[in-house]
Each structure stands twice: as C-alpha cells, then as structure tokens.
Amino acid sequence: MDHAGTAASWSDWPAAKRSDAIRTDLENLGLPMPDPVEVPAFGGEAEIFGMLYVLEGSRLGGKVQSRLIANDAPSAFLLHSSPLPWKKFISLLEQKLASPVDCALAQRAANDAFGCFAAAARRFLGA
C-alpha cells in the first residue's frame, strides 16, 4: 500500500497501517514475519480505496477476535485503532468512489485484497 501512494490519497494512512503491529505480535509469539505476497498493481485512487475498504473493515472483525483469545496473547494487530471511525471512513469512500467506473475498480481491488489475505494465510499455514 505504501508503494501505491496510499498516503497521497488518504492522509490518515501512516497512522492506520498495521504492519508494525503484526510484526510485533509475531515476534512476541516467536514467529517470523512471513514474506509478503504479491499484490496486484494499482491503477489509481479507486483501487487504493477498494483495498483500504478491506483493510479497514478487518478492524471490525479484529475487535471481535480479540475477545476470543487469551488475555495475555499478543494483540497489537487486533486492537490497533483506526484514526478514522468506520462510519466516517465509509463517508470518505462514498466521496472518493462517486462514479460507477470507480466503484467497479474498487470492487475488483477489494476482491484482490481478499485474495491476498487468502494467499498469505495459505503460505503461513503451509497449505
């Protein structure tokens, strides 16, 4: 996301990204940071916001998951707060994706993001 210029499209990106949090959690679990998966090239802002939709939306699930793990388990990634509440993020998304073409590009990028998560999970689990 950094290489795609996300900070230029969303000024809150530096505070929102969670790569350091997951790295810390994995270190505390004694696990190495896995190699990154290949992310499709982005054509512009619509794709960036499609990916951001998935990343920011995953915070909602993270809050639920954090209640299901041991209290002393590393949880920096799951509990990392967003600089922008979900409803405000959705409002921003609606502004940025005003045209049907932008919406279609964002949907494709969101699907790609889910694919990246699935590929990372398979690699991490050795599947």
Query: Can you give the residue ranges of every domain in the chain?
Result: 6-125
Per-residue confidence band for 22, with pLDDT thresholds at 50, 70 and 90 = very high
What mean pLDDT do residues 22-37 have? 92
pLDDT tens digits, one per residue of 82-119: 888 899 999 999 999 999 999 999 999 999 999 999 99
Per-residue confidence band for 42, with pLDDT thresholds at 50, 70 and 90 = confident
Task: Please tell us whether the domain made up of 6-125 is placed in CATH 1.20.910.10.
Answer: yes
Determine the straight-line distance between the first and last CA of the chain, rounded to whole angstroms: 25
Helices H / strands E in the chain, number of each: 7, 0
Per-residue confidence band for 126, with pLDDT thresholds at 50, 70 and 90 = confident
Residue type, 102: D
**DSSP notation for 77-116:** HHHPPPSS-HHHHHHHHHHHT-SHHHHHHHHHHHHHHHHH
Per-residue confidence band for 40, with pLDDT thresholds at 50, 70 and 90 = confident
CA dist 4 and 10 (Å) reads: 11
